Structure 1
Amino acid sequence: MGIRINTREYRAREKLTKERHELISEMIKKNPHFKPPPDYKPPKLQKKLYIPSKEYPGYNFIGLIIGPRGNTQKRMEKETGAKIVIRGKGSVKEGRTHQKRDVKPDPSENEDLHVLVEADTEEAL
């Protein structure tokens, strides 16, 4: 049958751990000398920015964001401290998806073209 991942206990545990992480991050903000527990990982903040490729079909947004050999994207990631990923329809070359049949398809491939920005802090986002 497989491993069940959407059980009532699992959802309750996820809710409790999320609340715990929020409380710990709040305590860190209020008291900078507070030492978080060793298993605490700060939650990643995400922001999704849609690329207006339908309004401007002749404009190469992906090329502008990535830049030559990915240098523009790497520079932006280094300056901001955030991870920048292009996702959605048209973000992956046609031949790339058929080569890896064992890998599960990404659910964001069916969405419109967008940039996903992940960061640890609100300032970096």
Structure 2
Amino acid sequence: MLSIIEEHLAQADLPAYVLKGDTKPKDRLAMVDAFNAGEKAIFLISLKAGGTGLNLTGADMVILVDLWWNPAVEDQATARAHRIGQHHQVDVYRLITQVQLKNKSINYKNKSVTLWTKFSVVPRIKVH
């Protein structure tokens, strides 16, 4: 999803930092410092890659695009912009697509069926 957004931003001539799982720690810190200094206005961060060590006091908006199954991970991503030294109001948006809703409902259904099967008591019928 980040790649798609990155491509659209490039086509619109909007420069952005992109942090993914394969970003080197040195590059990661340099991007965070440059973003907080206002060198670019957009920072795309994978939820998986953005787990620790980010202090994004330069942010005034967080948009969660590729939602994660664990809400705590999303909260942690949002908290990256709510840090000591933050002087901006930070608005948070979650973009949810129809496909995401469908997949999420299918996943919940599968989990429910699994739990029901695992914990339900099925009466045994003796056949003579």
TM-score interval, normalised by the smaller of the two chains = under 0.3
Higher RCO, 1 or 2 (CA under 8 Å, sep at least 6)? Answer: 1
Give the greater-gyration-radius structure (CA): 2
Could you tell me the TM-score, scaled by structure 1's length? 0.23
